[in-house]
């Protein structure tokens, strides 16, 4: 699903956010990318989500060579293959849960009735079948994040990128959101969670640790915990 090789990302002023990162994530994995502020994990999210092009190196997402695609092709790749979940939900105020999710499919080419049908189905899937007509201010933080997750997966992306998905939630709501992400992964979606929370990362089957723009550790859960220091 994901293959990064020798990826660097530098910005004006000589700031290097990624310094020769190589990473492979198999289809169907559930992975946490964890690190402190300034470790490069947010830049990693932008590169994985094709929101940012690397300065050098190669990036392949779901079989597509990102560095070879035009901007319009990258937009199509994101729309069809990648879902995003952010810490602060980004839901439209005064808009029902159904419409928040259905509006995420506006550029899918689907008719309005089909967009709403999918919205209802995916809201039931994340446990919000009883909150379809509720607006964001009528929902708890955990419920709002579930609406955001529903919107992200309504288009059936093969890759879901979650940026600090529990960062704005209390521990109980965060645990519920993590359960939803696990269920989506069990159904076949590749899920990558970007987080600074070590406790959250420790609950995942694989953790990739970042510091100073590099991967400094990677664990894999293969017939028990296996730890491999890679940098």
For the chain, the 3-state helix, strand and coil shares in percent, each to the nearest 5, are 35, 30, 35
Confirm if 20 and 29 have CB atoms less than 8 A apart: no
The two tokens of residue 7 are 């990826």
- Element (DSSP H or E) covering residue 191: strand 190-195
pLDDT at position 225, please?
40
Closest CA to 205 of 227, 220, 216, 183: 220
The two tokens of residue 48 are 């994985």
CA torsion 188-194-200-204 (nearest 10°) is 30
Report the relative pairing of strands 206-211 and 30-34 from DSSP bridges. parallel
Residues 36-51 pLDDT 10s:
988 999 999 999 999 9
Mean pLDDT of the residues in the chain:
90
Report the relative pairing of strands 206-211 and 214-221 from DSSP bridges. antiparallel
Q: Which residue has the higher pLDDT, 223 or 55?
A: 55
Look up residue 202 and give its DSSP letter: H
Residues 89-116 pLDDT 10s:
899 999 999 999 999 898 778 899 999 9
What does residue 176 show for φ and ψ, rounded to 5 degrees?
A: -65, -40
Rounded distance between C-alpha atoms, residue 231 and residue 212, angstroms: 11
pLDDT at position 191, please?
96
Stretch 55-66: mean pLDDT? 94
pTM of the model: 0.89
Radius of gyration of the chain (CA): 18
CA 140 and chain centroid, separation: 21
Domains observed in the chain: 28-50+84-228 (3.40.50.300)
């Amino acid at each position: 699903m994901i293959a990064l090789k020798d990826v660097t990302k530098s910005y004006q002023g000589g700031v290097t956010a990624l310094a020769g990162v190589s990473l492979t994530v198999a289809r169907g994995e559930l992975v946490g990318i964890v690190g402190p502020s300034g470790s490069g994990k947010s830049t990693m999210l932008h590169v994985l989500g094709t929101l940012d092009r690397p300065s050098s190196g190669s990036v392949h997402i779901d079989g597509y060579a990102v560095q070879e695609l035009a901007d319009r092709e990258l937009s199509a790749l994101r729309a069809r293959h990648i879902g995003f979940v952010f810490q602060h939900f980004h839901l439209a105020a005064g808009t029902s849960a159904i419409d928040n999710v259905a509006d995420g499919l506006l550029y899918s080419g689907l008719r309005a009735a089909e967009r709403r049908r999918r919205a209802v189905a995916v809201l039931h899937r994340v446990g919000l079948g009883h909150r379809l007509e509720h607006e964001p201010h009528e929902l708890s933080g955990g419920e709002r994040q579930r609406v955001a997750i529903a919107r992200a997966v309504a288009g059936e992306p093969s890759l879901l990128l979650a940026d600090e998905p529990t960062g704005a939630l209390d521990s109980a709501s965060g645990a519920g959101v993590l359960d939803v992400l696990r269920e989506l992964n069990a159904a076949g979606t590749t899920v990558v969670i970007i987080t600074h929370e070590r406790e959250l990362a420790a609950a995942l089957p694989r953790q990739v640790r970042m510091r100073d723009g590099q991967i400094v550790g990677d664990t894999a859960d293969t017939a028990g915990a296996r730890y491999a220091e890679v940098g």
